[in-house]
Amino acid sequence: MLNFIRIGLKLKGILTFIFFIFFIPIACSFILGSEMREGEIKNIPTVIVDHDNSSYSQMLVKEIKNNEIFNITNYSDNDSDVKNLIENNKARVGVIIPQSFAKDLTEGNAPKVLIFYDGSQMSITSAAKSRMDEILLSIKTGYIQQIMQGKLGVMPEVSRNYMLPMYFNYRILNNPARNYSNFLNIGMLISVAQVCFVMLGADMVKKEKHYLFIWVKTILGGLAGALSTLITLAIQVKYYGVPFRGTTKETVLLTILFCIAIVSYGVLIRLIVNQKILSIQISAVTVLPTSILGGYTFPILAMPEFFQSLSTILPFVHYAGPMRRIFLVGIGAEYINPEISWFIKFIIWMWILSIGIFYAKKAVKKGYNHIKDKKNSVKNTGEAVEV
């Protein structure tokens, strides 16, 4: 019976290890990749209020309708419907075309088209606004060019030069498709993985007599975490089209160091906190916010100075940021070496603190047991004398 219990406990430990290290990160990679497969926000629900109903206003509506970013779900005659539909989560963009749209356009007065965006969804707002600006600018430029050619007899090339006296060529480097998944998925998956790894680090400390056993488990746990992370990121490249422009050597080395660092931090917390469940909770809670401070949801350069300084001591910042640049930019060893040096120093500090706490607690426990045994010895001697 005891053998079955021991086998069951060992099997439970192995399954827990596999679940935290491999199953959760890899499953999240497939889920996130499938969820963001499109890479670009499309079919944004849009409401149109056209008070003009002229050929010119219909041309504008047609341009919006034919654009893949927008999905016209409602037409209305009431301006207040725009706000109501956005507030009721039935639309994200609203366009109100004034009654004098065609008249102002033909008379040379700039018609004022009112556009509403749902500010509670800034990613949608950003995508919708940039595309709407392109549509409005194209229509405006095309109309004025047509007027110059028709009424003033200006040649097409000349009218185009008058309309666009300066040409600006835009190139988006590293992510020209403006694909959200290319720069979001990497950091989000690393954020999930690091929570799993730090919890594993806190869970793997048992009642070892020597720190060497803990150190070996830390290394093995970090290597297993690195394998899981590399598989997780490889899934994004192979199945979901995330580009990889860096070199494998730097990617693997940086990943191994990051995972060992995170597991070492979890071990340190476990050595400080005696209660297993509490140490796992503290490890997860202290690591989870680092993805917010790491510049993925809001750029570090726009943060207050205190948080910019705080971000320099977070492992997530020294791994997720460089990994994104490895994947999208293809940076080389000269940019990765400083991060490798940082992780080596961080790991050494984690080990020094862990060793110090491990043997300090052993010394305290030994001293306590010695005092306790001495008191018991004195007590037993007193009882013997009394007898």
Break the chain into its structural domains and give their ranges.
Answer: 44-163, 178-370
**From start to end of 217-374, where are the E strands?**
none
- Predicted TM-score (pTM) of the model is 0.81
Q: Is the pLDDT of residue 288 over 60?
A: yes
The separation between CA 128 and the C-alpha centre of its own chain, rounded to angstroms, equals 22
What is the band of 362 on the pLDDT scale with cuts at 50, 70, 90?
A: confident
Strand partners, 94: 47, 116
CA distance 280 to 274: 11
- The arithmetic mean of pLDDT across residues 305-326, rounded, is 91
Quickly count: other Cβ atoms within 10 Å of residue 27's Cβ. 13
DSSP reduced 3-state for 129: helix
Structure tokens that stand for 48 in this block: 């149109």
- What phi and psi values does residue 374 have, to the nearest 5 degrees? -65, -40
Give the SS3 label for residue 50.
strand
More confident residue, 302 or 387: 302
Rg (CA), the chain: 31
Phi-psi region of 273 (alpha: psi -120 to 50; beta: other; left: phi over 0): beta
Amino acid identity for residue 284 in this structure = A
What tokens does 246 get? 């860096």
> Which of 219, 184, 228 shows the shortest CA–CA distance to 320?
184
Beta strands (DSSP E) in the chain are 44-50, 70-76, 93-97, 114-117
Res. 382 pLDDT band, cuts 50 70 90: low
Task: Output the six-digit token pair for 255.
Answer: 């990943």
Integer Cα distance of 28 and 241 in angstroms: 16
| Residue 99 burial by Cβ neighbours in a 10 Å radius (0-12, 13-18, 19+) | middle
* Measured distance CA(260)–CA(193) in Å, rounded: 12
Mean pLDDT for all residues in the chain: 84
pLDDT in tens, 35-92: 888 777 889 999 999 999 888 888 889 989 998 899 999 999 999 999 999 999 899 9
Percent of the chain past pLDDT 70, that is, above it, reads: 84
Reference 43, options 75, 62, 72, 71; nearest CA is: 71
Architecture of domain 44-163: 3-Layer(aba) Sandwich (3.40)
Phi, psi of 352 (to 5 degrees): -60, -45
CA distance 291 to 213: 31
d(CA 349, CA 264): 10
Per the CB < 8 A criterion, the answer to whether 232 and 189 are in contact is yes
